[in-house]
Chains A and B, each alone.
Chain A
Amino acid sequence: MELPTQTFRITRADLVRYAGASGDFNPIHWSDRTATKVGLPGVIAHGMFTMALVGRAVTTWAGAPDAVVDFGVRFTRPVVVPDDDQGTEIEVNAVVKEVTEEGLTRLDVTATCLGDKVLSQARATVRTPADR
């Protein structure tokens, strides 16, 4: 079963806010000068910020903020965030792989930015919502 697509906009302001909240002040997430010096096209989102947005998608699908039992991803491609008001957008999709008798639901998740996959092997196990 496919779950409804969710999209998330990411701007430079979001990266600054996430840097402060998470304590990850790596300059590749706020300085174009640093990012391009290490061979990136420009400032990129924290992988953990992308994962947090996917986590929001997962808890929304599960219908409960505390439903996540297991959640893992592999970061495959950076999410480049331009210095403008629009920023960029990631699209998150998931399919239900399994609903276990123990009350757990396993999801396979994909996340793309401008059509490119930014995560692979993204999987989440959540407590099965009561209405399913």
Chain B
Amino acid sequence: MSLDPSFVGRTYPPTAPYQVGREKIREFATAVGATDPAHHDPEAARALGHPDVVAPPTFPVVITMAASRQIVEDPALGVDYSRVVHGDQRFGYTRPVVAGDELVCVNTIEDVTTRGGHGFLTTRTDVSTTAGEPVVAVWSKIVVRGEA
């Protein structure tokens, strides 16, 4: 799988705002077994200084995975999604995601390489509020496996 290296540095238009719901955070926290009251009870979250329930650390992937379709479905880049394997994942927080946030994603392609017949694509998604406050930067590296 050969990916076009000229895509490095390309930034995509901001995604439509994602409304972070309290019940979505509770649902995600329950699914990963995160029982801390701050994920479920607004009072417990407020006691820690947050305006509403706090999302677990990997929650932003719910938003960024949907946002990254912009890249993996870009016909000009030509990623074959059936051959995609998740390589690396990283979250760099300015602050935790909380219920009530309205978040916008800006995707940038940081690196494109081809090695051993496989394509490697590193993207950074800058997640910020609609007011422009940065919340979390999310890096993801996917491997597009070559034809055997």
Write the nearest CB–CB distance from B92 to chain A, whole angstroms: 5
Residue pair A75, B62 in contact (C-beta under 8 Å):
no
Taking CB atoms, residues of chain A closer than 8 Å to B85 are 75
Interface centre among A8, A51, A64, A65 (most CB of B within 10 A): A65
Interface presence of A21 (CB below 8 A): yes
Interface string of B46-65 (1 = CB under 8 A from A): 00101000101110011001
Write the nearest CB–CB distance from A31 to chain B, whole angstroms: 14
In the complex formed, the residue of B with least CB distance to A52 is B32
Instruction: Please tell me which one of the listed residues B66, B90, B96, B139 contacts residue A23 in the complex, with CB atoms under 8 A apart.
Output: B66
Residue pair A24, B34 in contact (C-beta under 8 Å):
no
In Å, the complex CA distance between A64 and B34 comes to 12
Q: Among the listed stretches B23-31, B100-108, B109-117, which one makes contact with chain A, having 4 or more residues with CB under 8 Å of it?
A: B23-31
A22-B65, A48-B61, A55-B56 in contact; A66/B50 too (CB < 8 A)?
yes
Instruction: Please tell me which one of the listed residues A8, A49, A53, A70 contacts residue B93 in the complex, with CB atoms under 8 A apart.
Output: A70
In Å, the complex CA distance between A18 and B28 comes to 7
Interface centre among A14, A51, A53 (most CB of B within 10 A): A51
Residue pair B66, A47 in contact (C-beta under 8 Å):
no
A8-B33, A56-B34 in contact; A68/B57 too (CB < 8 A)?
yes
Interface presence of A3 (CB below 8 A): no
Residue pair B91, A48 in contact (C-beta under 8 Å):
no
Taking CB atoms, residues of chain A closer than 8 Å to B50 are 66
Interface string of B78-93 (1 = CB under 8 A from A): 0000000111111111
Residue pair A53, B32 in contact (C-beta under 8 Å):
yes
- B contact residues vs A (CB 8 Å cutoff): 27-28, 30-34, 36, 38-39, 48, 50, 54, 56-58, 61-62, 65-66, 85-93, 96, 139
* 8 pairs of A and B residues whose beta carbons are closest in the complex: A72-B90, A21-B31, A52-B32, A65-B36, A55-B57, A68-B57, A65-B38, A52-B58
* 19 A-B residue pairs with CB within 8 Å: A17-B30, A18-B31, A21-B27, A21-B30, A21-B32, A22-B62, A23-B65, A52-B56, A53-B32, A59-B34, A65-B34, A65-B36, A65-B39, A66-B96, A68-B96, A69-B92, A71-B58, A73-B89, A75-B89
